Amino acid sequence: MRRFIAISLFFVSILGSQSVMADCATILKHEMPALRSKETVDLCERFAGKPLLIVNTASFCGFTPQFKGLEAVYQRYRSQGLEILGVPSNDFRQEATDAETVADVCYVNYGVTFAMTDPQVITGPGAHPLYRALTAAAGEAPAWNFHKYLIDRNGQVTGSFASQVAPDDPALLKAIELAL
């Protein structure tokens, strides 16, 4: 009987994960290594059906204090389903060379609680497939650190916001509220 239950649970978990993948928007069918972890951030598993703000970050940039604002936005809207994914990148030569320093900046200096990945390439031919998809959908690649892409619950890119757009900018907040 135990064996039957174990086999049944195995098939239910496989079918359940296939259902999540089937319901997952194409743009979210990616994985990235989590920051300061051996875990992987499976975007479908974690973000499917939720509005998601994706931000390329850097530890030593003039826009780095936006972490504080991003965390405030996350705290304000997470109970309504908003998720934020920070993707550190050294594409603009302002990121730490080791993940531990990146993690300290995010978690210790700014108290970030939203999901963060290990540093990734986000521009050019070597860009992570997620960023290639975001660039294609939005019609623009990040020109600098702290570029923001907003994805709605259906996996559609509904906004692209330049680095200069602060997390508390009324246009960004309105777009987030519409995505909720």
The confidence band for 142, taking pLDDT boundaries of 50, 70 and 90, is: very high
Please state, rounded to an integer, the average pLDDT across all residues of the chain: 91
Mutual orientation of helices 66-77 and 170-179 as an angle, nearest 10°? Answer: 30
Residue 106 a catalytic site member: no
| Confidence (pLDDT) at 25 | 96
The confidence band for 16, taking pLDDT boundaries of 50, 70 and 90, is: very low
Task: Tally Cβ neighbours within 10 Å of residue 133.
Answer: 19
Cα-flanking dihedrals φ and ψ of residue 20, to 5°? -60, -45
CB under 8 Å, gap of 24 or more: what pairs does 4-13 form? none
Q: How far apart are CA 115 and CA 166, in angstroms?
A: 19
Q: Which of 24, 44, 61, 106 is catalytic?
A: 61
Strands across the sheet containing 52-57: 115-116, 83-88, 52-57, 148-151, 157-161
Q: Does the domain formed by 25-179 have CATH 3.40.30.10?
A: yes
| pTM of the predicted model as reported, rounded to 2 decimal places | 0.87
DSSP string, 65-112: THHHHHHHHHHHHGGGT-EEEEEE--TTS-S-SSHHHHHIIIIIIS--
Sorted by where each begins, the domain ranges of the chain are 25-179
Cα-flanking dihedrals φ and ψ of residue 100, to 5°? -65, -40
